[in-house]
Structure 1
Amino acid sequence: MQTANELQLLLTPYDDREPVLKDGLPSSAAARADATDRKDIALEHFWDETGDPDDLEEQRWGVIAPEGAAGDRLIALIQPLIDARREAQGGHEVMIYRVPSAMPPDEAARWRKQHFDVSAEVARDLPRYQLILGDLHEVPLALQQHQATDGFVGRLCFREERAYEAYVDKVLRWERARAEAAGSARFFTVHDGTVATAIGHRALAQPAIAQLGRYKLEVADLGDQGEPSVDAFLEVVKRPEPTVLFSISHGAGAPRGGWKTDGDQRGLQGAMCFGRDKLSGGDLGDSPFLPGGIWFMLACYGAGTPDVSAYWHWLERLKQNREFGGQTEAVLAGLPRGGQRPFIARLPQVVLANPNGPLAVIGHVDLAWTYSFEERDTGKALSRPSKFVEVVRTAVETSRVGSSFRELLKASILTNVELTSVYDQAERQRAAPDPARLGHLWMLRQDLTGFVLLGDPAVRLPAMRRRLKKDAASKAEPGVGVGVHEIRSTAALAAATPGIAAEGLAEDAPKLPPDMNMDIDDLERAIGKLLSGSPLKAVASEHGIEPKQLSALKEIYRKAGRAALGVK
């Protein structure tokens, strides 16, 4: 049952089942956030926004690592991935950038100007896909957030060196494989009886499932409506087919008495809460956990813990104005203190290192509110799950996860632009801006900015969204292109495409093997790269096709296209 207080936090103490903010906060509390932080995000686009975001040769891929011996070692551990990405981007050298480990968070923008985009002349060679190596004290969160304003940025962080090697091996193994099943989406809400998860299910999961259904994607709504169950969740993630899983739950914060040791905090904070039960990284081994999939985990501290919360000053102001009855310390007790370091959560580290685990995890660093999907700046709560729907939809349709994640960051950038315009309008009119609107927009921006991507941003769901059929001509749906059907031979391609001459499409032309589930859209992308001059072997490796076969199919495709244009 929803209470009068609408601002809900997805945070539960590790030793309790009651949320830290059991009654939430009144919507009016957001009005106190207007003077807290005015952070303008500079929009600098160095990449062609009209280009294919999933084309590595066009977008490029690079690495950002700490300076010194630690960074050298991390780079060496992922060398096979660097080699594979170099080949995938047509042999272009993988650019590697180094970051001082002691770089203050506010130096992120300056570092970019001085070390990343140092010259406009080389802008087209800059890697839009960027893999950060190391924990938050080695490469600060602010740098990841700043680079992600126009790039596709992910981070790898593990306790053990062998985990880096295991992750790289898993990624390359899945990229060589051809998944038999079509991609799917699963939503798992922990129905623990709290207002926050109830809002998450009503305002995010249910409408998102309805929207995805209109795209004719396979999607399911999971999670026991009765007693929340860790075992039920583990059964879901054991399924072998690659899946995009979106979970909604509370994240574990500090126990009521605080963490006893740094090790406890690093190992348990951000654990997934199921009422009294918790699921932490230490509870998992190498059993299948979303193999080859992508996990979007919505919970406080699910991805990690920053050194300073974006909400500290705001909560203090609420306390001073007696609008926040709880203790600020109770909400922010999970933050590092006195020289402690920020950190990536243990749970995503463990599942990413698992050879039978996911390829990427999207989660929240800092406190996670319901603002990101239930916006309030218009004066009333409006469910706006579309930003999350686009992340899931594009990931299921096998876009690279960095490209899919950008759909969420676009909303953050647009919110920041609106927030800035409200400030500027007020300054021009020399009038005080609406504090409620400013506060709600500020909360929305902070909540969206807290999401980060863990894993290589260039990975994609190894599943076929659209599968090719043996007789596309007889099964074609009105108004639907050939790309959504199975094509087993080039003769079927000609039959399914009225108006295109069959020159060069002889019955004895090369055919796709019967056991090859090749997506025609993916095949077209591969052929397009060849026609634009990309190396045959690199393209064939990236798309999982034999070079000789891809070359033959390119010639067939080229002849058919020229015939359709009336040229030879």
Structure 2
Amino acid sequence: MSADNELASLLSNAWCGDAVASGVCSEHATAWALRGAMSSPRQLSGAAQALDLAQWQDPRVGWGVVLPDRDGLGDADKAVAADAPAAIRRLIAARGNAPVFRYRPEIAKDGRLQRYYPHRGPASLRLSGTRGTVGDAAVPRYLLIVGSPEQIPWRFQYRLQTDAYVGRLDLDEAGLERYVDALLNDWPGHQRDVDAPLLWAVDHGHPDITFLMRKTIAETLFKAFDADGFHPLLLTGAQGRLEDFYAGLKQRQPAFVLSSSHGATFPLHDLIQLKAQLGAMLDVDHALLDIGALLRAWNPTGAIWYAHACCSAGADRPSTFQGLVDEQSSLGRMLAAVAGIGPCTAPLPRALLGSERPLAAFVGHVEPTFDWTLRDPDTGQRMTDALIVDTLYTALHSAQRPPIGLAMDGYYDAVAGLLLDHIEAIEAFNNHEHDAETRARKAKLLAMDRLAMVVLGDPTVRLPV
């Protein structure tokens, strides 16, 4: 297939019940590509680099909470999170009466947070200002969003994570109690084995996107682990069935799990059922992951899971990719159906993080991921090393064991360059340069795909030493 044809069509890792979602770029793809993307990420100063950014307890680094703002509540109560669930108030107190920030839609457009105080009027703060927890205008580097994507949108999380180390908890009160108890007590009852990472890669064969995912994600990470003294297990091929996955988790009790598969985006005609199984992994026989069976087989306490699957973290409305592909293609219809259920967190991470034995963190995508982000359609270059090698291996599994939020930070660094490419492509389009709209489309898709990878759980959790 020629590069022009590659850049006119998209494969996703979404399974719609009878086929993979794919699509040809629509007549509106140029308009989609030329719409503005997110603002550029931060550039850390040399002085900030000298800090040990893994030490969130350092007041120059800091940790804080982001809650939805609420009218009708006094500023003093907002300042101490009086309206927050009891578990979050306990966590704030245990972390030195950590600062509380609020999401307000009218200022979020500029990447700002609202902060209230008992001794003065409220302030609207940018993350690029004073960092840490010292002073009324300081914003910590670690931020925990507490609330659903309906209350605090995914797009605001995308924006925050370009300037801070961000996680989200979208759990009911019972789930929050269990998660916070485990977090504050260092995951009691854990059986995490950091030397025994488990990788599960479903592969339906070329040209299915799972073949590319296995080669560029699972095998790449397995080789990195295997070459450096770890004892990884890669389950793929005939071992791409759920029973093999459950058995591997039960036997090894890994501290780190990677899964690579299609994510469930069906049935498109039944939004209730679609939401109930959104993003769930499908095995080589297209059997759907069973959360109950998973939790009976595995003690996830304190583990970190990266799931490369469509909608593994959740869904959004409108879709970030609305207008990119033909509305009548399987991909176009899938995007419309998933957007129809509204912004939400996927069931699997909610169940794991809020379970009796809570997972520490879940890393996944909101909406689908695409083949362009795995392999450059122009050059064929593999595009996953920044995520797989630099982030999930070199950073997360380093001897220092950095928090998940800090480990993920390097992955978002490339967004600045991609958005600059997007801006330059728009300028080129306005100057009627050849292939400018193709460049704009690719740069925007790659940037938004990176931003849509999110951390669910507290951003300070880390692998055990």
Normalising by the smaller structure, the TM-score range is: 0.7 to 0.9
Q: What is the letter of the counterpart of residue 245 of structure 2?
A: F
Instruction: Using structure 1 for the length normalisation, give the TM-score.
Output: 0.68
Matched, 1:98 2:102: yes
In the alignment, which residue of structure 2 is the partner of 1:76?
86
Larger helix fraction of residues: 1
Q: What is the letter of the counterpart of residue 410 of structure 1?
A: D
Matched, 1:147 2:167: no
Q: CA–CA distance in 1 between the matches of 2:374 and 2:190?
A: 34
Alignment identity in percent?
22
- SS of 1:296's equivalent in the other structure is strand
In the alignment, which residue of structure 2 is the partner of 1:229?
241
Residues 280 and 137 (structure 1), Cα distance of their counterparts in 2 relative to 1, 3 Å cut = farther
In the alignment, which residue of structure 2 is the partner of 1:258?
270
Residues 150 and 268 (structure 1), Cα distance of their counterparts in 2 relative to 1, 3 Å cut = same
- SS of 1:333's equivalent in the other structure is helix
Matched, 1:423 2:426: yes
Q: CA deviation at 1:110?
A: 4.8
Q: What is the letter of the counterpart of residue 399 of structure 1?
A: P
The answer to whether the 8 A contact 2:62-2:132 is kept is no
In the alignment, which residue of structure 2 is the partner of 1:449?
451
Q: CA–CA distance in 2 between the matches of 1:250 and 1:105?
A: 37
Q: Deviations over 1:248-302 (max 9, x none)?
A: 111111314332x3xx343211111123311154655465343321100111111
1:279 aligned to which of 285, 289, 297: 289
In the alignment, which residue of structure 1 is the partner of 2:392?
392
In the alignment, which residue of structure 2 is the partner of 1:412?
415
Q: CA deviation at 1:43?
A: 3.5
In the alignment, which residue of structure 2 is the partner of 1:161?
173
Matched, 1:298 2:276: no
The answer to whether the 8 A contact 1:105-1:141 is kept is no
Q: What is the letter of the counterpart of residue 383 of structure 1?
A: R
- SS of 1:314's equivalent in the other structure is coil
Residues 344 and 119 (structure 1), Cα distance of their counterparts in 2 relative to 1, 3 Å cut = closer
Residues 426 and 265 (structure 1), Cα distance of their counterparts in 2 relative to 1, 3 Å cut = closer
2:338 aligned to which of 322, 334, 337: 334
Q: Deviations over 1:399-428 (max 9, x none)?
A: 10001111221122332223223434665x
- SS of 2:95's equivalent in the other structure is helix
The answer to whether the 8 A contact 1:64-1:96 is kept is yes
Cα RMSD over matched residues? 3.3
In structure 1, list runs of 5 or more residues that go unmatched: 87-92, 465-568
Q: CA deviation at 1:360?
A: 0.1
1:172 aligned to which of 167, 173, 184: 184
Residues 131 and 325 (structure 1), Cα distance of their counterparts in 2 relative to 1, 3 Å cut = closer
Matched, 1:270 2:244: no
Q: CA–CA distance in 2 between the matches of 1:43 and 1:180?
A: 34
- SS of 1:418's equivalent in the other structure is helix
The answer to whether the 8 A contact 1:20-1:331 is kept is no
The answer to whether the 8 A contact 1:166-1:354 is kept is yes
Residues 282 and 241 (structure 1), Cα distance of their counterparts in 2 relative to 1, 3 Å cut = closer
Q: CA deviation at 1:204?
A: 2.4
Q: What is the letter of the counterpart of residue 258 of structure 1?
A: D
In the alignment, which residue of structure 2 is the partner of 1:117?
126
Q: What is the letter of the counterpart of residue 409 of structure 1?
A: Y
- SS of 2:232's equivalent in the other structure is strand
In the alignment, which residue of structure 1 is the partner of 2:317?
307
Q: What is the letter of the counterpart of residue 307 of structure 1?
A: R
In the alignment, which residue of structure 1 is the partner of 2:65?
63
2:151 aligned to which of 125, 129, 138: 138
Q: CA deviation at 1:55?
A: 1.1
Instruction: Using structure 2 for the length normalisation, give the TM-score.
Output: 0.81
In structure 2, list runs of 5 or more residues that go unmatched: 116-122
Q: CA deviation at 1:342?
A: 1.1
The answer to whether the 8 A contact 1:157-1:344 is kept is yes
Q: What is the letter of the counterpart of residue 156 of structure 2?
A: L
What pairs up with 1:176-187 in 2 under 5 angstroms?
Answer: 181-187=193-199
Question: Which stretch has the larger CA shift, 204-213 or 228-237?
Answer: 204-213
Q: CA deviation at 1:341?
A: 3.8
Q: CA–CA distance in 2 between the matches of 1:228 and 1:247?
A: 10
Q: CA deviation at 1:121?
A: 5.7
The answer to whether the 8 A contact 2:374-2:384 is kept is yes
Q: CA deviation at 1:370?
A: 2.5
Q: CA deviation at 1:457?
A: 0.1
Q: CA–CA distance in 2 between the matches of 1:196 and 1:249?
A: 9
Q: What is the letter of the counterpart of residue 359 of structure 2?
A: P
What pairs up with 1:165-564 in 2 under 5 angstroms?
Answer: 165-174=177-186, 181-193=193-205, 195-223=208-236, 225-226=237-238, 228-239=240-251, 241-259=253-271, 261=272, 264-274=273-283, 275-281=285-291, 284-285=294-295, 287-315=297-325, 318=326, 325-326=329-330, 328-336=332-340, 341-376=342-377, 379-388=378-387, 389-393=389-393, 394-397=395-398, 398-424=401-427, 431=433, 434-462=436-464, 464=465
The answer to whether the 8 A contact 2:101-2:113 is kept is no
Residues 277 and 73 (structure 1), Cα distance of their counterparts in 2 relative to 1, 3 Å cut = farther
Q: Deviations over 1:372-402 (max 9, x none)?
A: 32223xx222112211222212222211000
The answer to whether the 8 A contact 2:212-2:374 is kept is no
Q: What is the letter of the counterpart of residue 367 of structure 2?
A: D
The answer to whether the 8 A contact 2:247-2:297 is kept is no
Q: CA–CA distance in 2 between the matches of 1:105 and 1:10?
A: 35
In terms of Rg, which structure is larger? 1
- SS of 2:204's equivalent in the other structure is coil
